[in-house]
Structure 1
Amino acid sequence: MTSKTLPQPPAAELSIVGLGGSAGGLEAFEAFFRNLPADTGMGFVLVSHLDPSHTSILTEILQRTTVMPVVEAADQMLVEANRVYVIPPNRDMTLFQSRLQLSLPEQPRGQRMPIDAFLRSLADDRGEHAIGIVLSGTGSDGTLGLRAILGGGGISLVQDPATAQYDGMPLSAIQAGFATHVLAPERMPAILQANRRHHAEISPAPATIGGMSRIMMLLRSGTGHDFSGYKKSTIGRRIERRMAQHDIEDIEVYARYLKAHPAETQTLFKELLINVTSFFRDPEAFAILKKDILPQILAGKPDDYVVRLWVAGCATGEEAYSIAMVLREVMEESGRELKAQIYSTDLDDDAIATARTGFYPVNITQDVSPERLRRFFVKEENGYRVKKDIREMVVFAIQNVIKDPPFTRMDLVSCRNLMIYLEADLQGRLIPAFHYALRPGGVLFLSPSESIGGHTELFSPLNRKWKFYRTAPSLASTRAMMASGLAWTTDATRSPPVEVMTKTKDTNIAEMTRRALVQSFAPVSVMTDSKGDILYVHGDTSRYLRPPPGQATLNAVEMAHEGLQLEMRSALGQAVSHGTPTLEREVSFMVGAEVRRVRLGVRPLPDPEPGLGLVLISFQDLPVSDPGKPARRRRAPSSADRERIEELERDLAYTRENLQATIEEQQSSNEELKSANEELQSTNEELQSTNEELETSKEELQSVNEELITVNAELQAKIEQLAGMQNDMKNLLDNINVGTIFLDDRLAIRRFTREAAKVYRLVTTDVGRPLADIKSDLGGDDLLAQAQQVIDTLIPFEREVRTIGGDWYLTRIQPYRTLDNVIDGVVITFSNVTARVAAEQAEQEGHDIAESIVDAVDKPLLVLDGAFSVIFASNSFYRDFKVSPGEARGRSIYSLDYIAWDSPALKDLLENVLPRKQSFSAFPLDSHKMRLGGRRIVCRTSGKPLILLTFEKDTA
């Protein structure tokens, strides 16, 4: 740890650290703050999974590990540097304009993700000054929050799973790739300090521009991608983050490091690919998409229309799946089932791989409603997987929209996560490309932070707030792209609009020619899928196919005439199973009494989409021999031949009947199997629903378990604290040698110290018994009555008592007050004062003896203090001078009326001579015919100087 003090940042640049922990997080929190200096210049906000019904003592526990103030967060509280804020129980917390926003939780107890919610708001509010830390805990809370922080330019720290009591949350963040540092909690403060020093010390220099250019060249040569059109501030922040991780402060040095380490080039490339997205980002925008935009796109479209959509910069696929779900809902609510093709592209191959799997952590419950989770996702052990019907609507591909050509004939293009990171020039070149990709009347969907810029001639706004734009008819986009210099445009395509229109006309002529040739020369055909269901019909097929009786069907095999059906079924099976075409097979069949011959062709076609299995079945009539035309003379068959022919014909007819019966039985079996499959599917759905309920219960129990673990950790810390306090109290009471008995409001024994056993005959088993049942050594003193009076009046009692053995104790009885200031009994203490009493008695005895001796001398005596006030006089003095003790004691000797003390000579003797000579004698008091003697003495007890005056009768 460094001791260097850094300057405090202004409020706008204050770095705020969000720490998230769950089960086992308390120990990690303590380790973190125990190694954190008090002057980091950052604010710290703790978010933990707390029991909503239990008062948290996390604030009190953490205050013992740091000198920074630790407070429980309150609504609208401003986050300040060098302070720690702890989330209260049963509250959701977010950050807005550096102020904490508290609210009651909306999600059920087992589905709350408070760490994700706070870290995402922290990323939105602080940007590159946001720091996210995920510590010990189960589940995946915090993963999506770290992704948002990284996307905003901040840094993320994750506890090393080997040091965590529960590694679920750290592993989730690490496996998702959102951890810039993985280390133990006690090492995290050093990383934070190093990062802050790096930002405080690094300053722009002329060499920075050159270093940035060299880094861009190294990225282009190493990855094939040009980032020169990206915003320099965005790229700069991520380069600085990589520099801080390698402890490099000069961008020129980092450029050389990048050149020497190709692996770092790939790491920086991944760092620059900002994959920040979520399901239904900006929910109100998706509500507009569902209510207004998609219905307008689908209005008036034929039933065989294919809806085409393109999501550019899809990151990990959440936005593409969100649009697919909304489109599915719109089609279901309108009762139309149109085919949809959603092309979703991104530059990051890792993000595309994640999107293709369609598997997301449980944190998506914060963004996806329970209804959509049920309809469009399958719950698995560690998250949710997109269902097959939604997954098949989306095609994911790696694409660089700057280098690669766009898709065309799109109904909607969504680009909500890309242009905000590009310079204005590159944005202006992409907008015409999106216009070129859209059909006439197509819709462009941007994020609230993006716009079409100056290309108002290409689009008209549909919703200005949520940035929906409709294409306007214009060739300006084509001209703009030809002049844009985008990598996918070539010199050959840079032709004037006239040539473009000519090419369009040539294409139409070629299409007309193709159609004429098909109509004139192609045989009658049907296009079917792998099951034989008809998708497209060319020509008049009534000579070969007819609707069968019963339930209507479009299956070509079932519609075929008898005799043709068997051949078609066999050929279709060969084409689908083995890809073997059947070409020019001659088949004869009967239609009533008419014999027809046809050349049958069944050809498998290459699939435009996987799993479709297209098959082309063609029919070409063959001539049938004319019955009126004389045939060649044949040898008349013999009777044996005729019998053989008849027998073979009967066998053939029997075989055909059996085959037809077998086919019908097979079809019946298929129907039964289909019905059984539907029942099994229904049962599977019920089991799936039951499984989802069990998963929900499991999540709730897991959440409760995490909360209980946190509460248990807090209570364990409290128990340790109480144990320490109890040990301190025991040693205190044992060493002050004061007997103490704690009684409840019924005067039953709560606790007692060993010294109390000298007064009351107490043993350990007496705890809980009434004190009245215990014999004491106090004789006739009734302390219980006094204890009851203290409980009733709350007035403390104090008295010295004597035991039977002769020991004296100062007894005090005071009310027993709880921390809540509730009277719950009394405390009786016994302080042994035997030695003091004995000393007082000895002193009093000595005093009495001294007074007896003085009185026996039968001479007037006075004892004065340093201020010449009377503190003692003998009985002879009171008798001879006819004064009472009350009139003399405590008064100055100069104020006594019965002696003329105002003599200057006497004053000089007392005040000046006596301090020098220590004594004098035979000073005449003429008014009383006495002589005065004096001596300075010292009190042995207090060490105070005193004056002893003696009076003797004058015998002269």
Structure 2
Amino acid sequence: MVNAPHSGSELRFPVVCVVASAGGRGALVELLRHLPTRDTHLSLVLIYDGGPEEGPLFELAAQNSPLPVTELRPAARLLPGCVQVLPRHVQVTLAGGIVEITPRGEGGPSSPADVFLRSLASELGERAIGVALSGAGSDGALGLKDVKAEGGVTFAEDPRTAERPALPRSAIAAGGVDFILSVEEIAAGLARMGRPGYTLAPSLAQGPSLGADPDLGKLFGLLRASTGVDFSHYKKSTLKRRIQRRMTLHRLATLQEYLDHLQADPAEVEELYQDLLIRVTAFFRDPGAFAALKTHVFPVLMHRRPPDSPVRIWVPGCSTGEEVYSLAISLLEFLEADAEDHLIQIFGTDLSEAAIHWARDGIYVESISIDVSPSRLRRFFVRVQDGFQVSKSVRDLCIFSRHNAAVDPPLSKLDLISCRNLMIYLEPSLQRRLLHTFHQSLKPTGFLLLGSSESIGAMPDRFGVVDRTHRIFCKRAAPEATYPPAAGASDLSSEPAAASERPSAAVGLGMETVRREADALVIARYTPAGVVVDEDMQILQFRGKTGPYLEPAPGDASLHLFRMARPGLLLGLREAVDASRRSGAMARRRQIKLKQGDRLRSVDIEVWPLKAQLARGRCFLVLFTEPAATAPEQGDLDAARSDPARQLELVQLRRELESTREYLQSIIDELEATNEELQCVNEELLANNDELRQANEALDAEREGLRSPLEELTAADGALPRGDKARRFTDSALRSLGAPARAGRELAVATDTMPAVFEVLCHPILLLDGELRVRAVTRRYCELFMISLRDIEGRPLSTIEASWNTPPLEQRLRDVLHRSAALVDFRFEALIAHAGRKTLSLSAFRLETGPGELPALLLVFDDRTGADKDESAPPGLQRAHRTGSV
């Protein structure tokens, strides 16, 4: 998002910062030669970080630039129509339009481009322009990201034609580049932007307000239909600048022209969406706030905390994850050696799926060294190609998910919420709703951290001040608090005021406003409750009061429709969804019984496929209605007169029988499809078996081929005159010569075929080594437990899910390893993240490995949730032990 007007407003001309480094002198010369010779208002600042053997940048620029060239000096002002060069071994910033120059720190981070670009973005906002040319390293990538975030325009040389593509590639990967062009095309774009009066979009700069412009309503509708996000409650000044920026990039003068462009190009809708979600973040932004957390917050959170009580922190609007990882590192530093004794869960959520993927990877450009100290880089990061990655021990503490804090169900039982620089972009009504949500989500002893420009506003009764300077607040008890109802994506305003609080006679309101308010009241009062879901059954929008039918599932936050369905609804809901998917038409299930407290209520479910589609597939509207009591048919009345109880029961049984027949038919269809899939898998397994048999035959042939040379070596060794000790050593070496090579070849064959075998197996299966660490999993296991091999590979079984961390289960598995006793159909209940409570059946088999190696363990799971339980079995539902190994 774009910040408020900038302090450097006295600079009325665009300022271009051109960044290049070792290997980029050629691109810099080409850019300078194509600059305009006159009628340009641009001020160019050149930053070139080349090797010491290269000549001075000032001479290079003076020889090739058609514009005057000067060298930046302390207290100088940037000038339009000229080129200004940054001297070597210094860093420069802008403050009030004045240049401030400082020496680069000895041994510290050397990122002059990032430092200047950040100050340029802060000072000039939309009048800042950044250019990344050919060069090594990544200095400038973070700065370009800030320029784009503040409304400026950014260019990068096409890496395919760059002599040294590392720098432009880093800038592109960081998400801070608008245009990827050749050097000549970049120069042409700069020349165009340097002409007087280039800034376009006068209809937005001088036209009516956003709320009154029907074209803007259409624009919001396009965004809402494509992304499921409603921006109508974001600050109008912010939206104006972001839309104006996109219009400027496409050289469009009016909002109607841009709307036509959006309707013709769906990709531009996504680009505008990403621009409205522009990511402004950094590691340890505002270091004083993190120091205040260690002083005022962490000691309170950790005081006498039981080891099994997790520390839960939420970062809404986490962007690419820097804030989440900064909090994790700060907490680990505070705990020091005690960190292993506590459970830590830090949740990062954001609207941008791309930002969430980036955050999960935890890979950042090398120039984060200007924000992260060398000691932290050594302790909490590992070096990767062209940058750093957050260490696995820190990443394991952080969970990232796409989530709309304004409308999606919030997390609960939180110790700390860090929401910095999000609410400044929202209108007051949405700010109040978020603060209500945060108050509801925090524990009674929880804390709230806001940005330096944010406050708790009109809610001092809900939050107390802990540190006013760093915007740290604590939750206050509010026993009579009433929270606003959950809002849909297109209904974020508060409920209508009471009649006594409204302006009399609808002063100043047109008929259109009255009609909209009346429609809203009718929809809120009489429209059935429902949700809009995508192809994966993820809820995109709540409509009406869905509380009686849906509730948040225990564990990590999830918006999956089936996981949120209340007990009793799941079967009928799944039937209706499957029927609508197959037929492409509306599907209905009637008279589904739902028990709430002592009351038994009937619910009808309708599933409507929507014609409008998102990029990720179809959408469905799911409606919940409670039918009114209907009079029985005449036939039923006659039967009831003779034997009312018996006849009514018969009618009910007939209805249930018909429903059961339909359901069984759908099960039969699914089983037939499953049998076909199993047949394909069986054929693949047979093919793999043939390959394994051929590999064994090849190994036998090689073994025979090695036997003769070994016999010859043994005979030759016996003929040598050596002492007994030396002979015994040689004999032992010869005897063992063939074993490692043979074992290595067999292990290579097994390793090569194992992924193929696990890929086609349809059961949830885990392969553990002798220390109960995960070595391989099947795809079905990952789907059942919503986890990836990358997240669990090499980790002990007890750390994957809390339910696995039980001494009885671990002892049984070790019995299988050491006593060759297979564990068959061992049943237990587990509370699994993302999936809720499950009844699982576990069978474990020992796998023999090579001589001198620990055996492996094969775990086969079966989801028995909902199956008939053995009433006589003890709580563990242990069934059988058999002796043997595989």
TM-score range, shorter chain: 0.5 to 0.7
Does residue 1:48 correspond to 2:292, yes or no?
no
Q: Residues 161, 470 of structure 1: CA spacing in aligned structure 2 closer, same or farther, 3 A cutoff?
A: same
Q: SS in structure 2 opposite 1:64?
A: helix
Q: Residues 400, 195 of structure 1: CA spacing in aligned structure 2 closer, same or farther, 3 A cutoff?
A: farther
AA partner of residue 157 (structure 2)? Q
The aligned residue for residue 39 of structure 2 is 39
Q: Out of 113, 116, 119, which is 2:114 matched to?
A: 116
Matching of residues 763-774 of structure 1 within 5 Å? none
The aligned residue for residue 369 of structure 1 is 373
State TM-score, norm by structure 1.
0.52
Q: Residues 537, 316 of structure 1: CA spacing in aligned structure 2 closer, same or farther, 3 A cutoff?
A: closer
Q: Residues 430, 555 of structure 1: CA spacing in aligned structure 2 closer, same or farther, 3 A cutoff?
A: closer
List per-residue Cα deviations over 1:931-952 (Å, max 9, x = no partner). xxxxxxxxxxxxxxxxxxxxxx
Q: SS in structure 2 opposite 1:364?
A: helix
- Could you list the runs of 5+ residues in structure 2 that have no partner in the other structure? 1-7, 495-540, 549-594, 596-771, 774-795, 843-847, 856-886
TM superposition shift of 1:568: 10
Q: Residues 72, 609 of structure 1: CA spacing in aligned structure 2 closer, same or farther, 3 A cutoff?
A: same
TM superposition shift of 1:405: 1.2
Cα contact 1:532–1:556 (8 A) shared by 2: no
List per-residue Cα deviations over 1:450-490 (Å, max 9, x = no partner). 22111111111111111111011114654345797587695
Matching of residues 212-231 of structure 1 within 5 Å? 212-231=216-235
Matching of residues 665-814 of structure 1 within 5 Å? none
The aligned residue for residue 204 of structure 1 is 206
Cα contact 1:557–1:568 (8 A) shared by 2: no
Does residue 1:97 correspond to 2:106, yes or no?
no
Q: Residues 581, 332 of structure 1: CA spacing in aligned structure 2 closer, same or farther, 3 A cutoff?
A: farther
Q: Partners in 2 of 1:571 and 1:408 — Cα distance?
A: 45
AA partner of residue 171 (structure 1)? R
AA partner of residue 181 (structure 2)? L
Q: Residues 25, 533 of structure 1: CA spacing in aligned structure 2 closer, same or farther, 3 A cutoff?
A: closer
Does residue 1:391 correspond to 2:395, yes or no?
yes
The aligned residue for residue 400 of structure 1 is 404
Q: Partners in 1 of 2:801 and 2:33 — Cα distance?
A: 74
TM superposition shift of 1:107: 5.8
Cα contact 2:201–2:252 (8 A) shared by 1: no
Q: Out of 288, 296, 301, which is 1:284 matched to?
A: 288
Cα contact 2:156–2:179 (8 A) shared by 1: yes
Q: Out of 161, 167, 174, which is 2:165 matched to?
A: 167
Does residue 1:603 correspond to 2:847, yes or no?
no
Q: Partners in 2 of 1:201 and 1:555 — Cα distance?
A: 67
Q: Partners in 2 of 1:168 and 1:250 — Cα distance?
A: 38
Cα contact 1:229–1:423 (8 A) shared by 2: yes
Does residue 1:380 correspond to 2:384, yes or no?
yes
Q: SS in structure 2 opposite 1:385?
A: strand
Q: Residues 573, 338 of structure 1: CA spacing in aligned structure 2 closer, same or farther, 3 A cutoff?
A: farther
Q: Partners in 2 of 1:59 and 1:316 — Cα distance?
A: 37
The aligned residue for residue 799 of structure 1 is none
Matching of residues 400-419 of structure 1 within 5 Å? 400-419=404-423
AA partner of residue 353 (structure 2)? D
Q: SS in structure 2 opposite 1:581?
A: strand
Q: Residues 281, 567 of structure 1: CA spacing in aligned structure 2 closer, same or farther, 3 A cutoff?
A: closer
Q: SS in structure 2 opposite 1:605?
A: strand
The aligned residue for residue 326 of structure 1 is 330
Q: Residues 467, 477 of structure 1: CA spacing in aligned structure 2 closer, same or farther, 3 A cutoff?
A: farther
Q: Partners in 2 of 1:375 and 1:572 — Cα distance?
A: 43
The aligned residue for residue 357 of structure 1 is 361
Cα contact 1:56–1:88 (8 A) shared by 2: no
Q: Which is greater in Rg?
A: 1
Cα contact 2:201–2:255 (8 A) shared by 1: no
The aligned residue for residue 263 of structure 1 is 267
Q: Residues 170, 481 of structure 1: CA spacing in aligned structure 2 closer, same or farther, 3 A cutoff?
A: same
List per-residue Cα deviations over 1:830-850 (Å, max 9, x = no partner). xxxxxxxxxxxxxxxxxxxxx
List per-residue Cα deviations over 1:744-788 (Å, max 9, x = no partner). xxxxxxxxxxxxxxxxxxxxxxxxxxxxxxxxxxxxxxxxxxxxx
Matching of residues 459-478 of structure 1 within 5 Å? 459-475=463-479, 478=482
TM superposition shift of 1:192: 3.0
Q: Residues 297, 212 of structure 1: CA spacing in aligned structure 2 closer, same or farther, 3 A cutoff?
A: same
AA partner of residue 370 (structure 1)? P
Q: Residues 476, 454 of structure 1: CA spacing in aligned structure 2 closer, same or farther, 3 A cutoff?
A: farther
Matching of residues 430-579 of structure 1 within 5 Å? 430-475=434-479, 478-480=482-484, 485=493, 490-491=544-545, 555-556=807-808, 566=815, 574=823
The aligned residue for residue 12 of structure 2 is 13
Q: Out of 581, 593, 614, which is 2:825 matched to?
A: 581
Q: Partners in 2 of 1:331 and 1:473 — Cα distance?
A: 28
TM superposition shift of 1:33: 2.7
Cα contact 1:122–1:130 (8 A) shared by 2: yes
Q: How many residues align?
A: 546
TM superposition shift of 1:185: 2.5
TM superposition shift of 1:194: 3.6
Q: Partners in 2 of 1:613 and 1:374 — Cα distance?
A: 41
Q: Partners in 2 of 1:336 and 1:204 — Cα distance?
A: 59
AA partner of residue 44 (structure 2)? F
Q: Partners in 2 of 1:536 and 1:192 — Cα distance?
A: 55
TM superposition shift of 1:148: 0.7
Identity within the alignment, % = 35
The aligned residue for residue 131 of structure 2 is 133
Q: Partners in 2 of 1:155 and 1:468 — Cα distance?
A: 35
Q: Partners in 1 of 2:190 and 2:236 — Cα distance?
A: 24
Q: Partners in 1 of 2:355 and 2:188 — Cα distance?
A: 32
TM superposition shift of 1:339: 0.3
AA partner of residue 39 (structure 2)? D
TM superposition shift of 1:565: 8.9
Cα contact 1:20–1:46 (8 A) shared by 2: yes
Q: SS in structure 2 opposite 1:311?
A: strand
Q: Partners in 2 of 1:67 and 1:565 — Cα distance?
A: 78
Q: Out of 283, 306, 310, which is 2:310 matched to?
A: 306
Q: SS in structure 2 opposite 1:157?
A: strand
TM superposition shift of 1:237: 2.1
Higher mean Cα deviation, 149-158 or 326-335? 326-335
List per-residue Cα deviations over 1:271-296 (Å, max 9, x = no partner). 21111211111112112222331122
Q: SS in structure 1 opposite 2:400?
A: strand
Q: SS in structure 1 opposite 2:163?
A: coil
- Could you list the runs of 5+ residues in structure 1 that have no partner in the other structure? 1-8, 495-509, 511-528, 539-552, 575-579, 583-601, 618-662, 672-956
The aligned residue for residue 693 of structure 2 is none
RMSD: 4.1
TM superposition shift of 1:65: 3.1
Does residue 1:185 correspond to 2:429, yes or no?
no
Q: Partners in 2 of 1:396 and 1:251 — Cα distance?
A: 36
Q: SS in structure 1 opposite 2:92?
A: strand
TM superposition shift of 1:429: 1.8
Matching of residues 864-883 of structure 1 within 5 Å? none
TM superposition shift of 1:493: 6.0
TM superposition shift of 1:187: 2.6
Q: Partners in 2 of 1:306 and 1:363 — Cα distance?
A: 33
Q: Residues 482, 305 of structure 1: CA spacing in aligned structure 2 closer, same or farther, 3 A cutoff?
A: same
